[in-house]
Structure 1
Amino acid sequence: MKAVLGLFATALLSTSVIAASPTLTPTTTKAGAALPVHIGGRAERVAEGYRRQWPGTYFESAFRGPSALLKIGQGDIVLHVSVDGAPVAKLVKPKPGLYRVAGLAHGRHAIRVDVASESQSAPTVFGGFYAASGTRPLPAPSRARQIEFIGDSHTVGYGNISTRRDCTQDEVWATTDTAQAMPALTARRYGADYQVNAISGRGIVRNYDGMAADTVPTAYPFTLFDKAARYADPAWHPHLFVIALGTNDLTTPLHPGEPWKTRDALHADYEQHYVDFVKRLRAHAPNAHVILWATDMANGEIASEVGKVASRLNAEGERDIGFIPVAGLAFTGCHAHPSTSDDARITMALSTYIDTHPEIWRQK
């Protein structure tokens, strides 16, 4: 009898190991019907699937069965594939084509693909999820809470998984993981859908070291960085905006030929444009709460300026405006950017505020 029980226990263990160890491999299998897709972030529908460029995009689906298929389109990208919340594979610059997730227990499963890398130079395409043999589609996941994160490299997660500060541009790209950055950590804590509308090196009125490129408020209204189509999603009504902009405006000295002759002139322009930007956001989401946060970089200049913006918004009648200065970050990521440990510290600072304002989630 003990031998039989032992064999039975061994069989259960083997089944558990198989069910807990799904695999992801390229396949030439013919794709079945498309599975419903839930998209976190901005994307446009194209013949090949979904074209996206803003960081932190994620795609989700659900199905019943032992396997499913996903299609990857053109573009250099780093993807995290997970099933039922457990990691399955990290794909770095994967070849376009069809991939099969297999080795799953029979039953209901949720599949997710997170874009980890930043795609400033060009958009990429995700082709969607498809049924495999024996797979039945289920409704795609959805969440009641929505958070929108707006910012620069500190929001993107620039070089946050790097083990050193000195990085080449290729290393920056490879060690940027928005899926492990503050927006994902915060949204996961509150069970919220989220968007990451951030661009490394960009600011409110001035980009890093005076670099010529669209600022975040200029690029913000559009689905892609080419500004060909304005973004619109009637289902996107964020309860909360979390904004961090100013690092690139203020951490480098002004150069001859820039529009501002003095630091005071830059401050005045920054404050006015930041106030106007928040008011434009509020015009589309009038009941949303707004958190402005800033590090103590630049000898406190950034936090001082963001605090002034928050004060002006409150003085001009904007309600539900919070300001959170974040100090004590180690900045051990690439080029002295926040690491994943810093991301966790920022998340805790935000969470302390959010937890004391439960009315955020009651906004409609």
Structure 2
Amino acid sequence: MGLRGLLTAAALAALVPVLALAQPRLAPAPETAALTPLPALAGGRVVAGSEGWTYQWPSARFEAAFAGEAVLFKVGAGDQILHLSIDGAPVGRLVKPTPGLYRIEGLANGRHLAVASVVGEMQAAPARFGGFFLEGGRALPLAPPRRQIEFIGDSHSVGYGDASEVRACPGDGVWMTTDNSIAFGPLTAQRFGAERQVNAISGRGIVRNFDGMAGDTLPLAWPKALLGAAPAYANDDWRPQVVVINLGTNDFSTPLKAGEPWKDRQALRDDYVATYVRFVGEIRARQPQAFVILLAPPSAENEIAAQVDRVAETLKSAGETRLAVIPLGEMELTACDWHPSARDQQGISDKLSAFIAQRPELWQGR
């Protein structure tokens, strides 16, 4: 079905005591022909192929259920950070893993749920996951969640450096401390048992990237399966009930420079509003069932919030009825390069979750 599945809460609870009796171990494994592919469900914006999945957008996630004492998985080319868990408990973290086969063993003989979560950002190049495998045991079915939520944004949605407790992150510090699993999108999706996509790129905006740097803005990148020169993304199974957009920090966080296409700040604001309105229209055309939430991040003199309000007013005056704005308010911004900390991310999730929880109809009965 192309979507990540979840065991029911009751089934997962039943698995935890089994895991507690064992001591799972994660280690590289020698290649062998005696492997049985284990059916898996993939979440996030991924491209399926004969050797597994390729991905470049954040928050790819792979799950498989099985009965047995061990499970294997293959990692393909590409720099990435993978979190591995069994039955909801972490068993290892792979940082820039060598492509090849890995084994999680030492499990109690019983039913298990294996999860591989991609938590970093991969702007430079895609990464790959080759799937799960069994040497013994048997596959178990997984049902995909009925709820879906999509997050579109910039570094705040990526989780840029959010695991850091300091603002100075030299060298590969940002890359090492970027953890999308503790960003507001996955936290919110988890609260509601929803499948998620996090389609976000650090440094990008609606019409202007950070400090005027080159690269696709989000309205140009969002339709693509991967970043850069990539084909369009297509997945008929992806029909989110809620779409959350958090964009504007990069458009307005730095002064305009000579040579940029806007004559002054007001021209930039007007272009931002007009382009944002068109972008929401494109999202609405693809996802007519979705309720759209526009987040308004903090900024000097509330410049971004004022423009987001203009976007919402323009859309509503044109007949849009399934849309809301949530101001995020002040944050401590103590993670890398003055980005939202893990506490900030939790706070954003709390605000967003409270809004959604008060409106159960947004899930359309799911």
TM over 0.5: yes
1:344 aligns with 2:346: yes
Determine the structure 2 residue equivalent to 1:103. Answer: 106
Q: d(CA) in 2 for partners of 1:335 and 1:119?
A: 18
- Please say which of residues 272-281 and 98-107 is displaced more in the overlay: 98-107
Q: d(CA) in 1 for partners of 2:207 and 2:319?
A: 23
Q: d(CA) in 2 for partners of 1:235 and 1:201?
A: 29
Matches within 5 A, 1:180-329: 180-329=182-331
Give me the TM-score of the superposition, normalised by structure 2.
0.92
Offset at 1:322?
0.9
Q: Aligned AA for 1:186?
A: T
1:62 aligns with 2:65: yes
* SS of match in other structure, 2:36: coil
Q: d(CA) in 2 for partners of 1:35 and 1:185?
A: 27
Q: d(CA) in 2 for partners of 1:172 and 1:228?
A: 26
Conserved? CA contact 2:19–2:108, under 8 Å: no
Q: d(CA) in 2 for partners of 1:78 and 1:214?
A: 24
Q: d(CA) in 1 for partners of 2:118 and 2:28?
A: 18
The structure-2 alpha-carbon separation of the partners of 1:269 and 1:47, relative to structure 1 and needing over 3 Å to count, comes to same
Conserved? CA contact 2:163–2:179, under 8 Å: yes
Matches within 5 A, 1:114-153: 114-133=117-136, 135-153=137-155
1:72 aligns with 2:75: yes
* SS of match in other structure, 1:237: coil
Conserved? CA contact 1:151–1:216, under 8 Å: yes
Q: Aligned AA for 1:107?
A: G
Offset at 1:327?
1.2
Offset at 1:267?
0.7
Give me the TM-score of the superposition, normalised by structure 1.
0.93
Percent of pairs identical after alignment?
50
Q: How many residues align?
A: 349
RMSD: 1.5
* SS of match in other structure, 2:195: strand
Offset at 1:32?
1.6
Gaps of 5+ in 1: 1-14
Offset at 1:48?
2.9
Q: d(CA) in 2 for partners of 1:29 and 1:104?
A: 21
Deviations 1:49-94 (CA, angstroms, capped at 9, x unpaired): 2110001111111111111111011111111001111111011111
* SS of match in other structure, 1:317: coil
1:113 aligns with 2:116: yes
Offset at 1:257?
0.8
Deviations 1:89-111 (CA, angstroms, capped at 9, x unpaired): 01111111111111111221111
Q: d(CA) in 1 for partners of 2:340 and 2:319?
A: 34
Q: d(CA) in 2 for partners of 1:169 and 1:272?
A: 38
* SS of match in other structure, 2:26: strand
Q: Aligned AA for 1:232?
A: A
Deviations 1:320-350 (CA, angstroms, capped at 9, x unpaired): 1110001131101000000111110000110
* SS of match in other structure, 1:45: strand
Deviations 1:240-280 (CA, angstroms, capped at 9, x unpaired): 00100000001111111111001111111100110110111
Gaps of 5+ in 2: 1-16
Conserved? CA contact 2:81–2:119, under 8 Å: yes
